[in-house]
Structure 1
Amino acid sequence: MNESKGTMESVTLSRVPDEQRKNWWTVALIQAGIMISIPCLMVGSTLASSLSIGEAIIAIIVGFAIAVFFMTLIGMQSSDLGRPMCVVASSAFGKTGVRIFMMILFSAALICWFGYQTVVCGEAFSNLLSKFFGVHFSVTASIIIWGIIMLVTAVWGINALGWLNDIAIPALIIVIGIASVIAFKTYGTAALAGYQPPAETQISVIAGIAMAFGGQSCGMVVTGDITRFQKTRKDTALATILGVFPISIMMIILGYILSVMTGDSDISNILCTLGLPVLGMLVLIAATWTTNTTNSYSAGIDMVMLFNSSDKSRVIMTVIAGALGTILALTGIMYHFGTFLTLCGDAFGPVAGVMVADYWIVRKGDPEKWFYKDGFDWVGIISWVAGVVFTFIFGTDYAIFIGIVISFVLYLVLRKLIREKQNVVDETEL
């Protein structure tokens, strides 16, 4: 019997039982909910200040195609093994290596994402009450309240994520579609056809590809936290490709188009300009909710690994992650969004290179050859660090991709030269 949608999630680091696996479309809706987000719209509006419409479309499609390719491979690892990313990665980095190097990095990043999105949601809710209902509600109080609401959904787990997205995604698509129709009727296509960004802010197409990819680099690696609930590799591929690619492309291009048409990069202002103030604010809140819940959910899983605690501690770790994110939301983290995107791409891309090399090349994609490795695996750690260092030092438009390739190749070379220690962790230690 399948686990009821009202049941709180009970597995964290241990293998997801077969009876708790989900249909591919359930996971696809969760993936789509993550993509229908304010950051996606903001990437589009940022590209509007840097690329022409043709260049932006190329950058968006290529950047996300690369991200989805890695998401599918990494997602399949977790669906094969029924385990989250932090456990799957232990065969490449070692359990201690994952805890010290990876989980600190990913927990911090996901907590920061939670903080950023909570600011967006809190401000949207306060603006909605103030402008259209005459109720002056503190932004600080709004951030705290919405942080708690989104945290409760994350604490409940995968079933709450599915329930939330079943309701929110169709509604969000309808409202976004209405906004697009109004925009084209109001402004036409003339502004788009001849649009050229200011010379001083123009970037190369490769830089645009890196920006689109960087915006998804964290989600690309932690996708296994969701896909571990899939039944087969085919289900994982369908959920990832159909849940992520079309929606993400649509959202970023929409952010670009609306920004060019209205001459504004602030999404809430754009929706108000289009005559959708109330619906616009509700879209901001719902889109943030569906995405941000996953941030604290994955952060909670990562913190279970980080502090070497039991599956039962996921709830308290998720609460801690959400609380930290909400505190950060009050510190102005959202104003560092552009830098944060770049840092994500630099640090997380090489993780994907190492994980893909380990599972799909060294272990030939065979779950029987995977094992939960104790201690440090310096082959994986050194390969990852090399990719990150190269990306930071060279800092060119394409450095992020060369960093992934360096980590991938170096891992394979070092694995050939350095014998792998079979220091397997027993299942009960999870």
Structure 2
Amino acid sequence: MTTEGKNDLDVFAQEDGEYMLSPVPESERRPTWKQVMVWVGFGYVVTGLFVGGVLAGFGGQPGVPPGMALWAIGIGMGVLLVLTTLLGIMAQKTGLNLALISRYSYGSIGSNLPLFIMALLTLGWFASITGMVGQIWSSLIGNPTGITVFNPAALGYTDIPAITLENFLACAVFGLIFTYTAYKGMKAIEAVAIPVAPVILIIAIIVGIGMLNEGGGMGNFLTEANKIGGLGMGSAITIVMGSWIAGVVMGVDLFRFNKSIKAVFAGAIACFVLTNPLLNIVGYIGAVSVGQFNYVEWMIDKGIIFALIGVVAWTTSLWTTNNAELYCNSLYVGPVISSYKKKVNRQKIVLVTGVVGTVIGSLAFYQIFFADFITILGAAFLPLAGPLIADYFIVKKGAYKIEELNSQAKYKMAGIISFLIGAVLGLVFEYGLVLPFGLPSGLVALIITIALYPIIYRFTADSKELTAEA
């Protein structure tokens, strides 16, 4: 970016080297192998196991047989891979984070719409993951104090266990640890991810085989799994995509540090071909074979050594993911504040959001809201990426002028309108109008959003950009 393109807020936001309001220069790009390890760790999150459990009808809910489960995982992850790669290419080519790249399709102030949504989503994810870690440590420690901090049954959630003091304290301690490393930035995230990523993949494979054997082997697994039904293919795919749509959009903020397009492909493949599908399958196997998708809960019953290995691996793997959630959250909140001419500091935002997310996570957000949370994500917020993709690849043909970053119109109605239409349609398709052939609601809504954007663009003031360039 030229000197003329900067303002005081840009300089202020760069103090910690994370480039909140300016492109990442080539000199600050990170080694490819380190970025790939970040994506391996980023992709390793309990939601992969949870989704596998949902597909298996965990808890007596509707599910799908194994063949349909594999198709749902394959299609869902395939779509997520393509979307992540497209957004990653945009980020790598420009060096811009989501907040900055959104200005081109939503406007300098209009971009606050996707940023506000992503800030809420990443806060919800941070709280959920913190709750997951607290719950697993509580399972290991038990409740020797006998103290209950919060009982969801008091609010009508009678099937959800009470939040014990041990659970609450585990959430608080690890929430603060996650906050500290996110506070330090991308280099700290890499430092956590690199040693952890290979180990957690090996553990997942070994434990998946162990649960399968305990359930009577492959023959018994297939017999039981083929009895599962009641969930449509479209809903199954939507659940798979919903579990990761926030991560897909967050990819912009991670891929801007990549040195090449090859690194974008490698990172996306590490997450959506290697890591997450493996967790989906392990979660499915566990739910069918031993009645538990969470393999750490299964390991806890196998003795103290297995329990400690499982809990420590679980915690460190989720550490990487929660680092990314909180790190990216600050990159959404900061630009929203700065758009109103207020000075911002990324690290202070991390601290405030980390504390808020830790408190929410300690009070059963994961246990109460998570299942509905990811379904709504898949249905309504998948179209969030539509205007970004349509503007960069279809309308602008991959030619963004960085020097025009701070001179974009305040509101670009093509992006705002197409996203809002897509989000509403996603919810209608998921909860009201049933789509033919079991098509996934979020994916259809995204396709409609991408198709609408260039049409609406031609009839708004946005199109003057292309006319002026011509």
3-state DSSP of counterpart to 1:252: helix
RMSD: 2.4
- 1:337 is matched with 370
- 1:193 is matched with 222
Among residues 254, 257, 278, which one is paired with 2:282 in the alignment?
254
3-state DSSP of counterpart to 1:22: coil
1:262-411 mapped onto 2 (5 Å cutoff) = 262-273=290-301, 276-308=306-338, 313-334=345-366, 335-368=368-401, 371-372=404-405, 373-395=408-430, 396=434, 398-411=440-453
The AA in structure 2 aligned to 1:72 is T
Q: Is the 8 A contact 1:41 1:255 kept in 2?
A: yes
From the superposition, tell whether residues 61 and 348 of structure 1 become closer, same or farther in structure 2 (CA, over 3 Å).
same
- Counterparts of 1:221 and 1:43, CA distance in 2: 19
- 2:152 is matched with none
Q: Is the 8 A contact 1:9 1:158 kept in 2?
A: no
1:28-427 mapped onto 2 (5 Å cutoff) = 28-49=36-57, 50-99=63-112, 101-130=113-142, 138-187=166-215, 188-196=217-225, 202-273=230-301, 276-308=306-338, 313-334=345-366, 335-368=368-401, 371-372=404-405, 373-395=408-430, 396=434, 398-420=440-462
Cα-to-partner distance string for 1:230-257 (whole Å, 9 max, x where unaligned): 1122221222223432111111111111
3-state DSSP of counterpart to 2:268: helix
From the superposition, tell whether residues 365 and 274 of structure 1 become closer, same or farther in structure 2 (CA, over 3 Å).
farther
Gaps of 5+ in 1: 1-6, 424-430
The AA in structure 2 aligned to 1:317 is I
- Counterparts of 2:257 and 2:103, CA distance in 1: 19
Gaps of 5+ in 2: 1-14, 58-62, 145-163, 466-470
**Mean Cα deviation higher: 407-416 or 168-177:** 168-177
- 2:24 is matched with 16
Structure 1 residue 369 displacement after superposition: 8.0
In percent, how many aligned pairs have the same letter? 22
Cα-to-partner distance string for 1:3-50 (whole Å, 9 max, x where unaligned): xxxx96442221112111012221111111111111111111111110
The AA in structure 2 aligned to 1:297 is Y
**Mean Cα deviation higher: 168-177 or 189-198:** 189-198
Structure 1 residue 371 displacement after superposition: 4.0
TM-score normalised per structure 1: 0.90
The AA in structure 2 aligned to 1:379 is A
- Counterparts of 2:300 and 2:454, CA distance in 1: 52
From the superposition, tell whether residues 196 and 177 of structure 1 become closer, same or farther in structure 2 (CA, over 3 Å).
closer
Structure 1 residue 370 displacement after superposition: 8.6
From the superposition, tell whether residues 304 and 256 of structure 1 become closer, same or farther in structure 2 (CA, over 3 Å).
same
- Counterparts of 1:68 and 1:52, CA distance in 2: 24
Structure 1 residue 422 displacement after superposition: 7.0
TM-score normalised per structure 2: 0.82
- Counterparts of 2:370 and 2:442, CA distance in 1: 18
Q: Is the 8 A contact 2:134 2:362 kept in 1?
A: no
Q: Is the 8 A contact 2:80 2:241 kept in 1?
A: yes
